[in-house]
Amino acid sequence: MSEQPPLGVRALDALFRATPAMSVARMSEERLRRVQGATIPARGPANLLLGRPRSGVRISTRTFPASHGELPLRLYVPQRPALGPRPVVLHLHGGGFVLGSARQGDWLCSAVADDLDAVVVAVDYRLAPTHRFPAALDDCYEALLWTVEHAHVLGADPERLGLMGDSAGGNLAAVLALRAREESGPAVLHQALLYPATDLTEALREHASYVGNRGIVLSNDDLEIFYGHYLPEGTDPTDWRLSPVHAPDLAGLPPAVVVVAGLDPLHDSGVRYAEALVASGTPARVEDFHLMPHGFLSFPYLARSARPALEAVVADQRRHLGGDAPLSGRR
């Protein structure tokens, strides 16, 4: 008999099952449009679910002129005096390329900014199905270029540049690292991939974690709908810009920490990407949280492993990006 998930994860599962708006597979087109247009309140019950941001981090918003128009960014900067230019981390949120916003990452991004003593820039990229591949990827790459160009204005060091992304954002972060290498773009020193979607091909359905998925937080039906919304008809899903695990060459990429969750249908996707990186000579380490569901770092008060996972991510970022703040384990 398999071990039962912790009480907080079971509560999270019950909440998702009772709330149709938390499953794309149970959304009508009209509801999806409403959810995409909704704004998460800065205070109130949302913070009880998603976690309160660190009090010592200033959060601000701005836009920059991307090729399609103004693209929103969310900036996280420690309020304490800086000893010098800080590392800078570009964060890409999850949501299956269809849902989510930079705001949902306030707890994670502010904690990384605080514990690493870094500037974190989060991107509100365009969402499918209105904007299908490669819209999100292009937005994120332009945001990467903007971040490097404006790093000094932000008090950051463009030569200590990291990527971070969860779920669909983990896919985008992995692909950005590849694209930066292929296009001789910014020199990325580290990638933090949190339960990333690295294989959008039919092979995903053969992964043991997909076959045995319990449907906590993320169901297989959700995955199919997310990918269907993101991929234009006729697109080859083996394109490395969609499925980075199928890139012909993974050598010369930045070191990676890959966080995976044992109750996640994407568990094996993350592990296989880490293995492929190592096989190509790119350093990668896997942090496996066996009794956690997909997205658990987004629910720090219900998922007991969120803080240990955060500490593992920051420790790896520190190894490759530097940073002056001690690991504090603060709430």
- Gap between the Cα atoms of 33 and 30, Å rounded: 5
167 catalytic? Reply is yes
* Structure-token pair, residue 266: 């994407």
Q: Out of 264, 269, 298, 305, pick the active-site residue.
A: 264
- Gap between the Cα atoms of 232 and 99, Å rounded: 17
What is residue 126's three-state secondary structure?
coil
Contacts of residue 144, defined as CB under 8 A and 6 or more positions apart, other chains included, come to 90, 163, 176, 180, 185, 186
Q: Out of 93, 190, 246, 294, pick the active-site residue.
A: 294
- Gap between the Cα atoms of 109 and 185, Å rounded: 24
- Gap between the Cα atoms of 49 and 45, Å rounded: 7
φ, ψ for residue 206 (rounded to 5)? -95, -10
- Gap between the Cα atoms of 102 and 55, Å rounded: 18
138 catalytic? Reply is no
Q: Out of 101, 110, 167, 269, pick the active-site residue.
A: 167
298 catalytic? Reply is no
Known catalytic residues are: 167, 264, 294
